[in-house]
Protein backbone atom coordinates (compact mmCIF):
# COMPACT_ATOMS: atom_id res chain seq x y z
CA UNK A 1 0.00 0.00 0.00
CA UNK A 2 1.10 3.54 -0.63
CA UNK A 3 2.31 5.28 2.49
CA UNK A 4 4.43 8.25 3.55
CA UNK A 5 6.30 8.10 6.83
CA UNK A 6 7.83 11.02 8.66
CA UNK A 7 9.35 9.47 11.75
CA UNK A 8 10.01 12.65 13.68
CA UNK A 9 7.13 14.68 15.11
CA UNK A 10 9.47 17.41 16.30
CA UNK A 11 12.95 18.45 15.22
CA UNK A 12 14.60 21.08 17.36
CA UNK A 13 17.86 22.75 16.26
CA UNK A 14 19.83 25.92 16.84
CA UNK A 15 20.18 28.63 14.24
CA UNK A 16 23.00 27.85 11.83
CA UNK A 17 22.86 24.11 12.40
CA UNK A 18 22.20 21.68 9.55
CA UNK A 19 18.70 20.29 9.22
CA UNK A 20 17.44 17.03 7.79
CA UNK A 21 13.75 16.20 7.89
CA UNK A 22 13.23 12.56 7.10
CA UNK A 23 10.65 11.14 4.73
CA UNK A 24 10.24 7.57 3.56
CA UNK A 25 7.63 6.30 1.18
CA UNK A 26 6.07 3.07 0.08
CA UNK A 27 4.78 2.98 -3.49
CA UNK A 28 4.95 0.37 -6.23
CA UNK A 29 4.84 2.85 -9.10
CA UNK A 30 7.20 5.61 -10.16
CA UNK A 31 7.05 8.10 -7.29
CA UNK A 32 6.41 11.79 -7.60
CA UNK A 33 7.19 13.50 -4.30
CA UNK A 34 6.66 16.91 -2.78
CA UNK A 35 7.45 18.84 0.38
CA UNK A 36 4.80 21.20 1.73
CA UNK A 37 5.31 23.74 4.50
CA UNK A 38 2.91 25.49 6.86
CA UNK A 39 4.21 28.53 8.70
CA UNK A 40 2.39 29.74 11.78
CA UNK A 41 -1.05 31.13 10.90
CA UNK A 42 -0.45 30.64 7.19
CA UNK A 43 -1.80 28.27 4.57
CA UNK A 44 -0.17 25.04 3.63
CA UNK A 45 2.00 25.75 0.61
CA UNK A 46 4.24 23.87 -1.77
CA UNK A 47 7.92 24.10 -0.89
CA UNK A 48 9.49 21.96 -3.56
CA UNK A 49 8.95 18.95 -5.78
CA UNK A 50 11.50 16.35 -6.73
CA UNK A 51 10.93 16.51 -10.47
CA UNK A 52 12.11 20.12 -10.51
CA UNK A 53 15.36 19.35 -8.70
CA UNK A 54 15.16 22.86 -7.29
CA UNK A 55 16.40 24.59 -4.17
CA UNK A 56 13.85 26.74 -2.39
CA UNK A 57 14.80 28.93 0.58
CA UNK A 58 18.01 26.96 0.80
CA UNK A 59 16.19 23.62 1.10
CA UNK A 60 16.88 20.68 -1.18
CA UNK A 61 15.51 17.15 -1.34
CA UNK A 62 16.87 14.22 -3.28
CA UNK A 63 14.83 11.21 -4.23
CA UNK A 64 16.61 7.99 -3.31
CA UNK A 65 14.69 5.14 -4.89
CA UNK A 66 16.96 2.52 -3.36
CA UNK A 67 16.20 3.70 0.15
CA UNK A 68 12.70 4.92 -0.79
CA UNK A 69 13.47 8.25 0.83
CA UNK A 70 13.00 11.91 0.06
CA UNK A 71 14.65 13.71 2.95
CA UNK A 72 14.55 17.51 3.13
CA UNK A 73 17.85 19.19 3.92
CA UNK A 74 19.23 22.62 4.62
CA UNK A 75 22.86 23.26 5.57
CA UNK A 76 22.24 26.24 7.87
CA UNK A 77 18.85 26.59 9.55
CA UNK A 78 17.30 30.02 10.11
CA UNK A 79 14.71 31.00 12.73
CA UNK A 80 12.22 31.77 9.96
CA UNK A 81 12.39 28.12 8.89
CA UNK A 82 10.39 27.17 11.98
CA UNK A 83 7.22 25.59 10.64
CA UNK A 84 5.37 22.34 10.06
CA UNK A 85 6.73 20.33 7.15
CA UNK A 86 4.79 17.65 5.30
CA UNK A 87 6.15 15.15 2.83
CA UNK A 88 3.67 14.04 0.16
CA UNK A 89 3.48 11.32 -2.46
CA UNK A 90 1.41 11.62 -5.61
CA UNK A 91 -0.68 8.51 -5.93
CA UNK A 92 -1.79 8.14 -9.51
CA UNK A 93 -3.62 4.86 -9.40
CA UNK A 94 -6.66 5.86 -11.42
CA UNK A 95 -7.09 9.07 -9.46
CA UNK A 96 -4.36 11.61 -8.86
CA UNK A 97 -4.19 12.49 -5.20
CA UNK A 98 -1.51 13.44 -2.72
CA UNK A 99 -0.87 11.21 0.25
CA UNK A 100 0.71 13.10 3.12
CA UNK A 101 2.89 12.09 5.99
CA UNK A 102 2.04 13.03 9.55
CA UNK A 103 4.33 16.04 9.42
CA UNK A 104 7.41 17.20 11.30
CA UNK A 105 7.50 20.38 13.30
CA UNK A 106 10.83 22.15 12.88
CA UNK A 107 11.78 24.51 15.67
CA UNK A 108 14.87 26.65 15.08
CA UNK A 109 16.14 28.34 18.24
CA UNK A 110 18.30 31.48 18.34
Partner 1 sequence: GAGVSQSPSNKVTEKGKDVELRCDPISGHTALYWYRQSLGQGLEFLIYFQGNSAPDKSGLPSDRFSAERTGGSVSTLTIQRTQQEDSAVYLCASSLARQGVGYTFGSGTRLTVV
Number of other residues whose CB lies within 10 A of the CB of residue 100: 14
Nearer to partner 1, 28 or 66 (CB): 28
N- to C-terminal Cα distance for the chain?
Answer: 41
Instruction: Figure out which of the listed residues 40, 43, 67, 110 binds partner 1, where binding follows CB under 8 A.
Output: 43
Q: Per CB under 8 A, does 69 bind partner 1?
A: no
CA 17 vs CA 29, 49, 66, 76: distances in Å: 35, 23, 27, 5
Q: Per CB under 8 A, does 99 bind partner 1?
A: yes
Minimum Å distance from CB 34 to partner 1?
6
Q: Per CB under 8 A, does 55 bind partner 1?
A: no
Amino acid sequence: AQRVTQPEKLLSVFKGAPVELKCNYSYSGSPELFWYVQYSRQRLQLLLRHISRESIKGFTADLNKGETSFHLKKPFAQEEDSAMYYCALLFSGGYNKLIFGAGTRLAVHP
